[in-house]
Structure 1
Amino acid sequence: MRHSSLTPVFVGLRTGLHVLLAALLALVVVQVLTRHDSTTWVALVLAALFALVYVLGARIAATTGTRRAAASALWVGALTLVWVALLWLVPEAAYLVFPLFFLYLHVLPGAAGPVAVVLATGVAVVALGLHGGFTVGGVIGPLVGAGVALLIGLGYRALAREAVEREALLAELVATRDRLAATQREQGVLAERSRLAREIHDTVAQGLSSIQMLLHAAEAADGERPGLEHIRLARATAAEGLADTRRFIRELAPPALDAGLGPALVRLGERWEREGMQVHVSVPPVDPALSMDAQTALLRVAQGALANVAQHAGASEVRVALTDLGGGARLVIADDGVGFDPEMVREGGGASDSFGLRAIAERVEQLGGDLVVDSAPGDGTTLTVTLEAAP
């Protein structure tokens, strides 16, 4: 079993089971040795065989898959047969039924475990009755033991299910944390690249452009002045520096936004159409006046929303619309899919796309924008993002 906070509990229960069985088997051996009859050696051989078969169960527990289930069933069956043979000779072997109860409940799947407990209880009661006559204690004792074993076995199964669910939840939380960290790193890198691109554009590029214009004006003002060749060389050098600077700006900006936000959204829609999803993209002829951070955020929002639609919505048609608001922009993504309950997603109700929506909401919130999710089960989903232009 994988390690969890409940692992010590399981280890303690299994260790207690092993100790209990060893103690009861030792008691049976002592009873056999004190009798000194013709069946003594046969009983001792059966007791040793019982211990050997029980120890072999550790090898079976190391196997996996369907082989383990079949091998475990055969192991429990062989152990039961040896126990019945020992019980036929030694009535005290009926005590061994109690640890066998736990083996049945732990090894046998579904209802087979409780059924085996009931059958073993009946065998123990009948054996005790045949050896020493049917008494109240001989009947009540195995019944009480079976009841206690069933209660403990049910509790053990509940703990095991809780451990599995907790492990799955922890794995999901770790995966979500890793995805969020990767998204934050990506966003930080893009933001820094965008900042550098803006700084270079607003300082070096503007300065080189101004120098080039001034040199051009000086060259045009007096075409015969001394040192004109130096002015022309300086203007050519400034032009080359400006071209290099603009190339640096293009490389720092997100590659998908080389041609602008509108063409990037169109290319995104075409890519999803090649995947078999019908996407209609509507963009203005000129991109809204947004910062590179805002454009990148809107593109990432569209990418995440279309990915969610493809994975979870089951939509036949998706519409993506970018609108220039003058002082900002609005991006609307609407699908005709199965929809969902936004309240359940906000409350962490287990929606499979809740992480994608949280990532979109965090992007919009960091830029001071507004996100509206309009959806209902069976009515599709409309996601609206509104961002203001940076002052």
Structure 2
Amino acid sequence: MADQMSLVLLRRAEHVLFGALLVVGAVRTGGAAAVASAAALAGWYVLGIALARRGRGRTVGIVWLAVLAAGWAGLAVLSVDFVWLAFPLFLLAMQVLPAPLGVPAVVLLTAGAVTTIALHRGRFDPAAVLGPVVGAAVAVVITLVYRDLRRESARRADLLAELTEAQDRLARSERYAGTLAERERLAREIHDTVAQGLSGIVLVLRTARDADPDTARGAIDTATDAARTALADTRRLVRALTPAELAGRSLPEALRRVVAAAPYATLTVDGEPAELPTPVEVALLRAAQEALHNVRAHAGAERAVVTLTYLPEVVRLDVVDDGRGFDPAVPPAASTTGTGLGLAAMRDRLAEVDGTLVVESAPGHGTALGVTVPLGSTR
């Protein structure tokens, strides 16, 4: 984090330095031509910053730098006060150009600065030579440090991503192990209660089939009691399968608890909340949890909005974030966001309640996830 902040501060210092030197040159030179030319160069500089933030390619950056250098040369010929803009240009040349071309470009800019000063003064002054040369050397050193910071920042980002992925794998393994243990527990519980009760009912009813009426009535009463017990056991097991988040809570309340644990997320509930079948509420809750997990782990988003909408025929869940986005057309195995398996599991869970999942996303433009479950098929 500190390395990233250092990079940001260094970039901002470059922008301030370029702007300050440009303003100083325009003020000291005076005249409409100098001010207009300086303003045009400032506009071109700002355009380059905007293009860089949008991730334009290196070729665009090289063209931008070449035009910027040409504009500087014109201003330097117009007035010696613009010569010192060469220093931020040294930094930009080392950053924008490929490594083999950076130093030669700095040498060329240094020669241009020295020559321009000599032309204005009518002679070569050792002090005039020393200034640009020292500035160029400092710029090269600063850029090398800057590159080291970038490499270190990238390395730490990779380590953080690997750590996050390892934590996710561990969490998935623990959830899977917990699922297996719960399945075994439920299997034993069903065998010891419901299965044995149903088996006893079958035996009693078989006995009643060929018995006299009084014996048959007694057997039927016994079977009825056993059936009630089995029904009570079944209901108890169903309640045990309800997620802890939904225990004693409505779906909106459960979602509020989930969203409260994600400081970057907000929840909106539209429409009149209706009681939904437990499988539907579980599917919607798990979809929201998976979506917010992806936002935290992969999207790099600053904000996510969760919307639960109750309509007459369907219930909708939408999760929209302003993160880096991804290409939904890329197969999960080839995706670098790690969202593929989670989305596939989400689709499978929703299919069990006749629900659908729609994902809209593009690199750099966030992600919108929409879940729809028809109420008619779930009642």
d(CA) in 1 for partners of 2:211 and 2:87? 115
The residue that corresponds to 1:140 in the other structure is: 130
Larger Rg: 1
Contact 2:14/2:88 (<8 A) preserved? yes
Contact 1:211/1:238 (<8 A) preserved? no
Please, which of 10, 35, 44 is the counterpart of residue 53 of structure 1?
44
Q: Does 1:161 align with 2:158?
A: no
d(CA) in 2 for partners of 1:112 and 1:164? 23
Q: Does 1:103 align with 2:100?
A: no
The residue that corresponds to 1:171 in the other structure is: 161
Shift in Å, 1:226: 9.0
d(CA) in 2 for partners of 1:192 and 1:45? 75
**Structure 2: 5+ residue stretches without partners:** 235-379
Note the alpha carbon deviations across 1:188-213, whole angstroms, 9 max, x for none. 12211211212343466557768988
Note the alpha carbon deviations across 1:51-76, whole angstroms, 9 max, x for none. 2322222332243343xx22222211
Amino acid at match of 1:176: A
Amino acid at match of 1:55: V
Amino acid at match of 1:21: F
The residue that corresponds to 1:36 in the other structure is: none
d(CA) in 2 for partners of 1:224 and 1:159? 90
Q: Return closer, same or farther for 1:198/1:147 CA change in 2, 3 Å cut-off.
A: same
TM-score, L = length of structure 1: 0.49
Amino acid at match of 1:29: A
The residue that corresponds to 2:21 in the other structure is: 24
The residue that corresponds to 1:181 in the other structure is: 171
TM-score, L = length of structure 2: 0.51
Equivalent residue runs for 1:115-264 within 5 Å: 115-132=104-121, 133-202=123-192, 205=195, 229=216
Amino acid at match of 1:54: Y
Contact 1:73/1:108 (<8 A) preserved? yes
Contact 1:24/1:96 (<8 A) preserved? yes
The residue that corresponds to 1:85 in the other structure is: 74
Larger deviation, residues 146-155 vs 194-203: 194-203
What is the total number of aligned residue pairs between the two structures? 233
Shift in Å, 1:24: 1.6
Q: What percent of counterpart residues are identical?
A: 42
Contact 2:87/2:136 (<8 A) preserved? yes
**Per the alignment, in what secondary structure is the counterpart of residue 134 of structure 1?**
coil
Q: Return closer, same or farther for 1:93/1:207 CA change in 2, 3 Å cut-off.
A: closer
Note the alpha carbon deviations across 1:271-327, whole angstroms, 9 max, x for none. xxxxxxxxxxxxxxxxxxxxxxxxxxxxxxxxxxxxxxxxxxxxxxxxxxxxxxxxx
The residue that corresponds to 1:357 in the other structure is: none
Shift in Å, 1:134: 1.7
d(CA) in 1 for partners of 2:36 and 2:56? 33
Note the alpha carbon deviations across 1:345-372, whole angstroms, 9 max, x for none. xxxxxxxxxxxxxxxxxxxxxxxxxxxx
Q: Return closer, same or farther for 1:161/1:224 CA change in 2, 3 Å cut-off.
A: closer
- What CA RMSD, in Å, does the superposition of the two structures yield over aligned residues? 3.8
